[in-house]
C-alpha cells in the first residue's frame, strides 16, 4: 500500500542526485589543504597563542622581517632588507623595506616593527617566540631602522626576532582585549589579506591591492574544510586540490602515478630529527658506552624501510637533518666513534666493557645481577613511530636487552617524556635554524631540568660540561666562518658523548598539481619547502606561483 | 501530570550530577593543555613559548572548589569559556559551527531509521515467515554487523567517487551562500543523502528486529486472541492493539538514540567531511581542550536527559497503566 509513494520519492531523489552543481574553483584561485578541521572557526590573529589562527595567517597574510628557507638554511630578506650585528653581539639593527603598505593603504614603517615588539612586551601571553627573554629594549632609530638591544650577547636570538609577524600599530594599538582578539578582518602587509568568503566549510582570501611585491599572480587562496587526511587525499588525487602537505600513503602509486606530468610530490628530509631517547638519569643509560651500544645495535636502514616506508634516510653521524647540511662536518663519518652504523658485535663488546654481562640464556644482566628489561614509550596511533619502535625493540632484544613497546595516549606520553619519567622513548627534537638550538636541547647542561619538572626539550636529561664554552662562544660569534668552526667542534662533542640515539630525519611532506599553477618548489629549484604548513616559508611559494594560462 | 513532574525533578538531580562529573573528569586526566599544545608542535615552536601559552589559557592553581564555583556560575550565564584548541574563540561559537549540521544529519537519520525500522518490524511480525520476514532481517543484520567505517568508505567510493551521483564531501556546495532558498535546500539534501543513508542502513536492522520480536510476543498474547474472537478488523488489531503495545521498549531506545545524536557521528563526519559535533569532540579530547569538552558533554547530557523525559511523557500517553 505504501509502495507507490516510496517509489516516487526514490525517483525524485535520484533525479536530485543527478543534477550536479559545478564545484570547481575559478581560474587563478589556488585550492590548498593545510589545516585539518571539520568546520572553520574565524581567527586571523597572527599573535594568537597555540596556533589557533587559520593558515596562512603568519605565512601569507602577515609577514616577518626575514623568511627562512629551511631547505637551503638561508634567510631571505622580506619586510627588512637587511640586518647588522653590533660589535659584541649585544645589539641588532634591521633596515626596514621602503614603500610597504598595509592592506588599508596606510604605510608600514619601522614604527610598526617597534610597536609589534613593544606590544609583545606588554602582553607576554602573546610572545610565543619568547623574544623578551633575550631583549632588553627596542629602539626606533628612524623611519627605516629598528635596533634590538639584547640583555646578553645572543646571536641565535636573530631567528625569533626576524620571524615575528609584524602587526599594524593603528589596529593592534587600539585593541581593548588583545588576548582574545580573533582579528576577523585582517589589516596586513602580506599578499593575501582580503577575506572574500568565510563559511564553515570553506574560506577564501583575496589579494592585497597594495602588496609591495606587486599584485600576486594567484588571485585568491581557497581552503575547503577536510576533517582528516583521507578526505583531503581523495580531493587531492581527484585533482581538486592544487597544493597540500598531508601524508599520502604510497604517494608515487596513489597520487603521482595518476598524472605524472602534473602531479608531484617532494619530501626532503629537512624536518626534526627523530631520536630514541634513553633517560640518562636512570642507570645504565648514564653510561655513554651503553648508549653507544644501543645505537650500534639498531639497524636504521630497516627502521626507515619498515617504519617510514623508505620516505626518509637513516640519521647521519652528527644527527643533522638536511636543513643543517651546510654546517655538517662530513669527515666525522669516518670517525671510529661514529655510532649510526649497524654493528651488533661492537655493541655487545661495549656492553661487556660497561659491566652488563650476558647471563647463561644470552640475556644481559644489570649491575645488580637482574636481567635488563625496558619499554620504549610511543604514542599509540602514530603508526610510523610504532613500527619504527618495533624494529628497534627487536634489535635491542637481539642484543640481550629485553625490550617491549608501551603505547600511550598523546597527553600521557608528552607528560612522561617532558618530566623525564621514562626509560626509553621515541621523540622528536628542536628544529631551530642553526645547529645551535638543536644541540642546545640535546646536550647543553643549562637545558637540563630536574626529573619531575616538565621540560620542553632535553627529555633525556643530558648535559656535557665541555660543550658549555662552545655554546657560549657561538652566542657572541657573528662571523659565519667562526660559527662554522664552533659548530664543527659541537659535532665532535656530540659524537664523543652520545647524548641520544638518532634514528632518521622527518621528511617535510608536500604535494602539488601543476595542472592549474606552475612555479612550485622542487628538488631542482629548492627555493622553499613544498609543505604549505611551513609558515612563513609559504610566503616564498605564494608569491612565486603563476596560474597556467 | 504528577508523574511527569516527579520525573522532571529526578532528571534535574541527574543533570546536576552529570554537570559535576563533567567538571571533575577532565581534571583527573594527566597533563595540562599548554604542555600538550606545545608538544603537539613537535619542535616547531620555540621552547620559550610554553610560558606564553600557560599565561594565555589562564591556567590557574586556584583550589578546585573555587574553580567549581566559577564553573557553575559561568554555566548559568551561558558562558562556556574560551576553547583551548580554537583559542581565543569562545566555546559557544566553536560548537555553533557544527551543532545545526549534526542535528540535521544525525537527527534526521535516527528519526527516519526508527520510523522505517519500526514499520518494517510491524509488517514482518504480522506476516510472520512471509517474504519480508524471511529476506530483510538477515540482510539488515549483515549490513549492521559491517564496520561502519568500511561501509561508509565503500559507499563514498562507489556512489560519490566512481559513479559521481553524490558529492563526496561537505554539507553543501562551497560556491553556495547558506540561506533559506530552494537551491540551497536542494543542495543540502543532495549532500546529506549519502551520509544519512549509510547511517540508516546500519541502524535499520536493530530497530526492525527489536520491533518484530516484541510484536511477536504481543501477538501471541491472549488480548490479541480475544480481539480476533471479537471479530475486530485485522488492521485495527495490528496497529491499535499489537503495534501500540509493542512500541514501548522501542520508544525507550529511541529516546536514548535521540539524546546521543548531539554527540555527533564521528565516523560519518570524517568519511564524508561533514561538519559536526563528533569531530569537535575528538579534537577537544586530543588537545585536552577542557572547556570545549565540557561544552559538548554538557550539550549531550542535557539532550539525553531531555529526550528521556520526553520519552517518559510519551510512554505515559501510550501506556495508561503508568498514569
Q: How confident is the model at residue B66 (pLDDT cuts 50, 70, 90)?
A: confident
Evaluate if residue A181 carries a pLDDT over 80.
yes
Instruction: State residue A275's pLDDT score.
Output: 96
> B118, B242 in Cβ contact below 8 A?
no
- Rounded CA-CA distance A220/A102 in Å is 18
Domains and CATH numbers, chain B: 95-287 (1.10.3720.10)
Mean pLDDT of A14-34: 67
Q: How far B178 CA lies from chain A's nearest CA (Å)?
A: 9
Cα-flanking dihedrals φ and ψ of residue A323, to 5°? Answer: -70, -20
pLDDT by residue (tens digit) across A434-478? 999 999 999 999 999 999 888 888 999 999 999 999 999 999 998
Place of cell 641588532: A92
What is the largest distance, in Å, between two alpha-carbon atoms of chain A?
93
B92 CB neighbours in chain A (<8 A) are none
Q: Is residue A95 a part of any domain in this protein?
A: yes
For residue B41, pLDDT beyond 70:
no
Size of interface A-B (CB pairs under 8 A): 198
pLDDT at A11 > cutoff 50: no
Q: Among A172, A203, A225, which residue terminates a domain?
A: A172
The per-residue pLDDT for A180 is 79
Q: Which of A126, A144, A172 is the last residue of a domain?
A: A172
Residue B278: per-residue pLDDT: 84
Among the three residues A137, A172, A207, which one is the final residue of a domain in this structure? A172
Burial class (CB in 10 A: 0-12, 13-18, 19+), B95: buried
pLDDT, mean of residues A479-499 = 95
> Per-residue pLDDT for A354 more than 70?
yes
pLDDT of A196 above 50: yes
Band (B46; pLDDT cuts 50, 70, 90): low
Q: Does B39 touch chain A (CB under 8 A)?
A: yes
Across the interface, do B48 and A129 touch by the CB < 8 Å criterion?
Answer: yes
CA distance A183 to A193: 12
CB A515 within 8 A of CB A259: yes
Option in A49, A228, A411 nearest B29 (CB) = A411
**Is residue A10 over pLDDT 60?**
no
Residue B143 confidence (pLDDT) above 90: no
- Write the pLDDT tens digit of every residue in B180-233: 888 888 888 889 899 999 999 888 999 999 999 999 999 888 888 898 899 889
Which whole number is the average pLDDT over B271-299? 82
**β-bridge mates for residue A501, sequence order:** A276
Same domain, A397 and A434: yes
Chain B segment 126-155 residues within 8 A of A by beta carbon are 153
In which band, very low, low, confident or very high, does the pLDDT at B149 lie, cut at 50, 70 and 90? confident
Which structural domain, as residue segments, surrounds residue A534? 24-36+190-268+508-547
Instruction: Indicate the pLDDT class of residue A130, thresholds 50, 70 and 90.
Output: confident
CATH number at residue A218: 3.40.190.10
Instruction: Write the residue in B55, B176, B193 that is nearest to A13 by C-beta.
Output: B193
Confidence of residue A126 (pLDDT cuts 50, 70, 90): confident
Strands (E), A170-301: 192-198, 202-207, 220-224, 243-244, 263-265, 273-278
Residue A496 pLDDT > 50: yes
**Would residue A453 count as lying in a domain?**
yes
Tell me what pLDDT residue A524 has. Answer: 93
The answer to whether A164 and A64 have CB atoms below 8 angstroms apart is: yes
| The pLDDT of residue A271 is above 50 | yes
At A220, is the secondary structure helix, strand, or coil? Answer: strand
User: Is A73 a member of any domain?
Assistant: yes
What is the model's pLDDT at position A8? 45
C-alpha cell at B195: 551520509
Per-residue confidence band for A347, with pLDDT thresholds at 50, 70 and 90: very high
Total domains, chain A:
3
Cell of A143: 623611519
pLDDT range class, residue B265, cuts 50, 70, 90: confident
A128 in reach of chain B (CB within 8 A): yes
pLDDT of residue B43: 55
Q: Are residues A220 and A256 in the same domain?
A: yes
Q: What is the pLDDT of residue A113?
A: 96
Q: Which helix or strand (DSSP H or E) is residue B138 part of?
A: helix B131-145
Residues 1-30 of B with CB under 8 A from A: 29-30
- Give the nearest chain B residue to A127 (CA atoms): B52
Give the span between the Cα atoms of A314 and A472, in whole angstroms: 31
Structure confidence at residue A140 (pLDDT):
95
Strand blocks (E) in A97-155 = 135-142, 145-150
Q: What is the pTM of this model?
A: 0.81
The whole-angstrom separation of Cα B277 and Cα B290 is 15
3-state secondary structure of B284: helix
Q: What CA–CA distance (Å, rounded) separates A528 from A546?
A: 16
Cβ separation A179–B88 shorter than 8 A: yes
Model pLDDT, residue A97: 95
Q: Sort out which chain A residues have CB atoms less than 8 A from B269's CB and list them.
A: 38, 227
* Residues of chain A neighbouring B187 (CB-CB closer than 8 A): 21
pLDDT, position B57: 57
Cβ atoms A300, A342 nearer than 8 A: yes
B279 contact A CB<8A:
yes
Is B245 or A6 the better-scoring residue by pLDDT? B245
Inform me whether the C-beta atom of residue A238 falls under 8 Å from chain B C-beta atoms: yes
Which CATH number belongs to the domain containing residue A146 in this structure? 3.90.76.10
Partnered with residue A204 across adjacent β-strands are A197, A222
Q: What is the pLDDT of residue A20?
A: 42
- Flag whether A45 is in a domain: no
Q: Is B86's CB within 8 Å of A41's CB?
A: yes
Using a CB-CB cut-off of 8 Å, the residues of chain B touching A224 are 169-170, 174, 273
When CB atoms are compared, the residue of A16, A414, A441 closest to B189 is A16
Residue A60 within any structural domain of the chain: no
If DSSP codes are grouped into helix, strand and coil, which group holds residue A92?
strand
Looking at the structure, tell me whether residues A279 and A253 fall in a common domain: no
Check residues A214 and A12 and name the one with the higher pLDDT: A214
Res B166 pLDDT > 90: no
Asked if the C-beta of A40 comes within 8 angstroms of chain B's C-beta atoms, the answer is yes
Which of B41, B53, B56 to mutate against chain A (most A CBs within 10 Å)? B56
Same domain, A478 and A501: yes
CA dist., res. B124 & res. B130, Å (int): 7
Is B81 in the A-facing interface, judged by CB distances under 8 Å? no
pLDDT value at position B305? 87
Tell me whether residues B30 and A43 touch, CB distance under 8 A.
Answer: no
pLDDT over 50 at A208, yes or no: yes
Residue B315, pLDDT > 70, answer yes
pLDDT at A16 over 80: no
The dihedrals phi and psi of A39, each to the nearest 5 degrees, come to -155, 145
**Confidence check: pLDDT of B11 > 80:** yes
A397 shares its domain with A457: yes
Residues of B in contact with A40 (CB under 8 A): 97
| pLDDT level of residue A2 (50, 70, 90 thresholds) | very low
Task: Round the CA-based radius of gyration of chain B to a whole number and report it.
Answer: 24
**Residue B50 in this model has a pLDDT that exceeds 80:** no
Distance of CA A202 to the CA centre of its chain: 25
Arithmetic mean of pLDDT, A33-49: 86
- Report the C-alpha gap between A453 and A435 in whole angstroms: 25
Residues A292 and A370 in one domain: yes
Q: Which residues of A touch B275 (CB under 8 A)?
A: 38-39, 200-201, 225
- ipTM over cut 0.85: no
Question: Which of B51, B272, B273 would best serve as a mutation to test chain A binding (most A beta carbons within 10 A)?
Answer: B273
In a domain, A80, yes or no: yes
* Per-residue burial over A417-427, b = 16 or more CB atoms within 10 Å of its CB, e = otherwise: bbbbbbbbbbb
pLDDT tier, A118 (very low <50, low <70, confident <90, very high otherwise): very high
* B contacts of A14 (beta carbons < 8 Å): 165
- At A13 the pLDDT is 43
> At residue A15, does pLDDT exceed 50?
no
Are A116 and A163 contacting, i.e. CB atoms less than 8 angstroms apart?
A: no
Residue A58 lies in a domain: no
Contacts of A102 (CB under 8 A, 6+ apart): A108, A168, A170, A187, A188, A189, A210
Which range has the worst mean pLDDT, B24-28, B140-144, B149-153?
Answer: B24-28
Helix B148-155, helix B182-219: angle, nearest 10: 140
Q: Which of B31, B91, B264, B288 to mutate to test the interface with A (most CBs of A within 10 A)?
A: B31
Greatest mean pLDDT among A490-499, B52-61, B305-314: A490-499
Chain B within 8 Å of A431 (Cβ-Cβ)?
yes
Predicted local confidence at residue B47, as pLDDT: 63
Contact B101, B171 (CB under 8 A): yes
Residues 6+ apart with CB under 8 A from B47: A130, A430, A441, A456, A457, B38
Contact status of A175 with chain B (Cβ, < 8 Å) = no
pLDDT higher than threshold 90 for residue B132? no
Of A19-23, A32-36, B176-180, least confident by mean pLDDT is A19-23
Q: Which residues of B touch A179 (CB under 8 A)?
A: 56, 88
Mean pLDDT taken over chain A: 89
Task: Looking at the structure, tell me whether residues A372 and A398 fall in a common domain.
Answer: yes
Single out the residue of B159, B170, B270 nearest to residue A23, CA to CA: B170
Spell out which residues of chain A touch residue B168, defining contact as CB-CB under 8 Å.
Answer: 234-235, 238
Residue B38 has a pLDDT of 66
Q: Are both A242 and A197 inside the same structural domain?
A: yes
User: Is the pLDDT score of A77 beyond 70?
Assistant: yes
- A344 with A440, same domain: the answer is yes
Inside any domain, residue A48: no
- Give the percent of chain B with pLDDT over 90: 11
**pLDDT surpasses 50 at A4:** no
Q: Can you give the pLDDT at residue A29?
A: 94
* Cα distance between residue B289 and residue B87, in whole Å: 10
- A501 and A524, same structural domain? no
- Provide the CATH number for the domain around residue A462: 3.10.105.10
Q: What is the pLDDT of residue A22?
A: 46
A366/A249 same-domain check: no
Residue B315 or A305, more confident: A305
Same domain? A156 vs A110: yes
Amino acid at each position: 500500500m505504501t509502495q507507490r509513494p516510496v517509489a516516487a520519492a526514490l525517483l525524485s531523489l535520484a533525479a536530485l542526485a543527478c543534477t550536479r552543481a559545478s564545484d570547481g574553483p575559478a581560474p587563478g584561485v589556488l585550492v590548498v589543504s593545510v589545516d585539518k578541521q571539520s568546520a572553520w572557526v574565524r581567527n586571523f590573529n597572527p599573535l594568537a597563542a597555540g596556533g589557533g589562527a587559520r593558515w596562512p595567517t603568519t605565512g601569507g597574510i602577515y609577514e616577518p622581517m626575514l623568511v627562512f628557507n629551511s631547505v637551503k638554511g638561508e634567510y631571505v630578506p622580506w619586510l627588512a632588507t637587511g640586518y647588522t650585528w653590533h660589535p659584541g653581539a649585544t645589539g641588532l639593527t634591521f633596515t626596514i623595506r621602503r614603500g610597504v603598505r598595509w592592506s588599508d593603504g596606510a604605510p608600514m614603517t619601522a614604527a610598526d616593527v617597534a610597536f609589534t615588539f613593544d606590544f609583545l612586551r606588554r602582553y607576554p601571553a602573546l610572545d610565543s617566540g619568547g623574544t623578551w627573554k633575550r631583549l632588553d629594549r627596542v629602539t626606533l632609530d628612524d623611519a627605516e631602522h629598528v635596533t634590538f638591544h639584547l640583555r646578553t650577547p645572543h646571536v641565535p636570538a636573530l631567528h625569533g626576532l626576524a620571524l615575528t609577524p609584524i602587526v599594524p600599530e593603528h589596529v593592534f594599538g587600539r585593541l581593548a582585549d588583545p588576548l582574545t582578539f580573533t582579528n576577523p578582518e585582517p589589516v596586513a602587509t602580506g599578499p593575501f589579506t582580503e577575506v572574500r568568503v568565510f563559511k564553515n566549510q570553506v574560506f577564501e582570501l583575496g589579494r592585497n591591492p597594495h602588496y609591495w611585491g606587486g599584485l600576486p599572480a594567484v588571485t585568491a587562496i581557497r581552503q575547503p574544510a577536510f576533517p582528516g587526511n583521507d578526505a583531503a587525499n581523495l580531493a587531492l588525487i581527484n585533482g581538486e586540490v592544487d597544493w597540500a602537505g598531508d601524508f599520502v600513503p604510497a604517494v608515487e602509486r596513489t597520487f603521482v602515478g595518476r598524472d605524472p606530468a602534473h602531479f608531484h610530490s617532494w619530501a626532503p628530509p629537512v624536518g626534526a630529527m627523530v631520536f630514541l631517547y634513553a633517560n640518562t638519569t636512570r642507570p645504565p643509560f648514564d653510561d655513554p658506552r651503553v648508549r653507544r651500544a644501543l645505537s650500534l645495535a639498531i639497524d636504521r636502514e630497516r627502521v626507515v624501510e619498515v617504519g617510514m616506508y623508505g620516505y626518509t634516510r637513516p640519521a647521519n653521524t652528527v644527527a643533522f637533518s638536511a636543513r643543517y647540511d651546510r654546517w655538517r662536518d662530513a669527515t666525522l663519518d669516518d670517525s671510529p666513534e661514529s655510532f649510526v652504523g649497524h654493528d651488533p658485535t661492537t655493541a655487545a663488546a661495549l656492553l661487556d666493557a660497561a659491566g652488563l654481562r650476558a647471563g647463561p640464556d644470552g640475556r644481559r644482566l644489570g649491575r645488580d645481577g637482574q636481567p635488563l628489561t625496558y619499554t620504549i614509550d610511543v604514542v599509540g596511533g602514530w603508526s610510523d613511530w610504532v613500527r619504527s619502535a618495533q624494529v628497534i625493540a627487536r634489535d635491542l632484544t637481539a642484543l640481550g636487552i629485553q625490550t617491549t613497546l608501551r603505547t600511550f595516549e598523546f597527553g600521557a606520553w608528552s607528560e612522561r617524556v617532558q618530566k623525564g619519567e621514562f626509560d626509553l622513548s621515541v621523540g622528536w627534537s628542536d628544529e631551530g635554524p642553526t645547529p645551535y638550538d638543536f644541540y642546545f636541547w640535546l646536550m647543553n647542561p643549562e637545558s637540563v631540568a630536574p626529573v619531575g619538572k616538565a621540560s620542553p626539550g632535553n627529555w633525556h636529561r643530558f648535559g656535557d660540561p665541555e660543550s658549555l664554552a662552545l655554546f657560549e662562544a657561538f652566542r657572541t660569534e657573528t662571523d659565519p666562518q667562526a660559527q662554522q668552526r664552533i659548530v664543527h667542534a659541537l659535532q665532535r662533542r656530540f659524537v664523543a658523548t652520545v647524548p641520544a640515539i638518532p634514528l632518521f630525519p622527518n621528511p617535510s611532506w608536500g604535494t602539488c598539481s601543476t595542472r592549474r599553477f606552475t612555479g612550485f618548489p622542487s628538488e631542482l629549484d629548492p627555493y622553499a619547502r613544498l609543505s604549505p604548513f611551513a609558515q612563513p616559508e609559504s610566503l616564498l611559494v605564494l608569491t612565486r606561483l603563476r596560474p597556467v594560462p | 501530570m504528577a508523574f511527569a513532574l516527579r520525573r522532571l525533578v529526578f532528571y534535574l538531580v541527574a543533570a546536576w550530577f552529570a554537570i559535576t562529573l563533567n567538571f571533575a573528569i577532565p581534571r583527573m586526566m594527566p597533563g595540562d593543555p599548554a604542555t600538550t599544545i606545545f608538544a603537539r608542535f613537535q619542535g616547531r615552536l620555540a621552547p620559550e613559548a610554553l610560558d606564553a601559552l600557560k599565561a594565555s589559557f589562564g591556567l590557574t592553581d586556584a583550589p578546585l572548589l573555587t574553580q567549581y564555583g566559577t564553573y557553575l556560575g559561568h554555566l548559568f550565564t551561558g558562558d562556556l569559556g574560551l576553547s583551548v584548541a580554537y583559542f581565543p574563540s569562545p566555546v559557544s561559537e566553536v560548537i555553533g559551527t557544527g551543532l545545526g549540521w549534526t542535528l540535521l544529519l544525525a537527527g534526521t537519520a535516527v528519526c527516519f531509521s526508527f520510523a522505517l525500522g519500526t514499520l518494517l518490524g510491524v509488517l514482518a511480525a504480522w506476516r510472520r515467515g512471509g517474504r519480508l520476514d524471511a529476506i530483510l532481517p538477515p540482510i539488515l543484520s549483515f549490513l549492521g554487523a559491517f564496520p561502519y567505517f568500511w561501509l561508509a568508505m565503500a559507499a563514498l567510493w562507489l556512489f560519490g567517487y566512481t559513479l559521481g551521483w553524490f558529492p563526496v564531501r561537505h554539507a553543501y556546495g562551497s560556491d553556495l551562500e547558506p540561506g533559506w532558498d530552494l537551491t540551497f535546500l536542494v543542495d543540502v539534501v543532495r549532500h546529506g543523502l549519502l551520509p544519512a543513508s549509510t547511517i540508516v542502513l546500519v541502524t535499520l536492522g536493530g530497530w526492525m528486529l527489536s520491533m518484530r520480536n516484541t510484536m511477536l510476543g504481543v501477538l501471541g498474547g491472549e488480548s490479541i486472541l480475544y480481539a480476533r474472537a471479537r471479530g475486530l478488523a485485522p488492521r485495527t488489531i495490528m496497529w491499535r492493539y499489537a503495534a501500540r503495545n509493542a512500541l514501548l521498549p522501542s520508544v525507550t531506545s529511541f529516546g536514548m538514540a535521540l539524546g546521543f545524536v548531539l554527540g555527533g557521528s564521528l565516523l560519518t563526519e570524517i568519511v564524508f567531511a561533514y561538519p559536526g559535533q563528533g569531530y569537535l569532540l575528538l579534537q577537544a579530547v586530543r588537545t585536552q581542550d577542557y572547556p570545549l569538552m565540557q561544552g559538548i558533554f554538557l550539550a549531550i547530557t542535557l539532550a539525553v536527559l531531555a529526550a528521556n523525559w520526553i520519552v517518559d511523557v510519551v510512554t505515559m500517553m501510550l501506556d495508561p497503566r503508568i498514569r
